[in-house]
Structure 1
């Protein structure tokens, strides 16, 4: 079975940046880099957020989505993450992919040109048919909501 093809377009402000790539042979996500101006890095103050350009537009195959996820190293070391994680890039979107970063850390965070800021996992999606029903059937959990299954892992 051949891999689905993701068509990419480098935008003028991202022309010199590397294309997304898998950092290791078994990586699930493609690294996305920041296409901020080289002479004007983006400074995220503690608590601030911004849509960071990637300099890329893409055409995902029909039936797939791009899930924009945080990089664990940025989250652990600096408290910087993707605000709407996972962000979704729909198959019919053709604009620039941007990453909404938020700084939950205690210090300003500098986003520099070419910095790896997020990863994108390309995953299949299913569109379902909706059917309204007065009876959803019974389950062991029932209507138990937040925390209803407890905290213990046993």
Structure 2
């Protein structure tokens, strides 16, 4: 038998918009769901080397929960490239200052480390409260 693998064309991929309310959700578990939607793993024709993911709009990022002592013990690390340029920010400060960044970093860490991830992460839209600018596009709401 001669079975061929189906590869979807870039024009034929239909991208949906998903709205996720992050109120009371755990950061890591929510990031897993978002990364699966961005990569397109929920689709029948998923292929890991083809970008077939959807758009994701996340609201209420300021109400995301971190379990255990992560709020005090977990840190966000950035490095400028210069000697002594390391910055460690505790998640308690990061969540108070910019909770969108905390979710963005968590999702980005779950995407593949290649050029495909750069295109996929641009389809993630995170908002601090329940107001967002994509009301016309959003059709599906994810629980």
Larger Rg computed on CA atoms: 1
Q: Same fold (TM over 0.5)?
A: no
Q: Which protein has the bigger helix share? A: 2
When the two structures are superposed, what TM-score results if normalisation uses the length of structure 1?
A: 0.23
Higher relative contact order (CA 8 A, sep 6+): 2
When the two structures are superposed, what TM-score results if normalisation uses the length of structure 2?
A: 0.24
